[in-house]
Amino acid sequence: MGDNILDSFETQIGVLIERYERLKQENIRLREKQTNLFTQNDAVGEKHSLMIGGIKKMIKRLKTIEKEHGRES
């Protein structure tokens, strides 16, 4: 009977070790994914800022053209 309990305990420990290793690998993958997402988010933020700057310049030029055109009339 003692051997059965010991075998069962060893089996449970083995299962726990396998789960631990699986979760450890999943955690590593998730951290890598998170890092990649942060990097992508930073890149999108930079592009967004550049686009906003470009749009503001375009609006300013259009207003300047509009003022110049209005003076010609």
Helices (H), the chain: 2-72
**What's 73's DSSP letter?**
-
pTM (two decimals)? 0.64
pLDDT digits 0-9 by tens, 9-46: 999 999 999 999 999 999 999 999 999 999 999 999 99
**What's 66's DSSP letter?**
H
* pLDDT the model gives residue 2: 76
Residue found under tokens 């070790």: 17
Distance (Å, rounded) from C-alpha 20 to C-alpha 66?
A: 67
- Compute the C-alpha angle 11/12/18, nearest 5°: 90
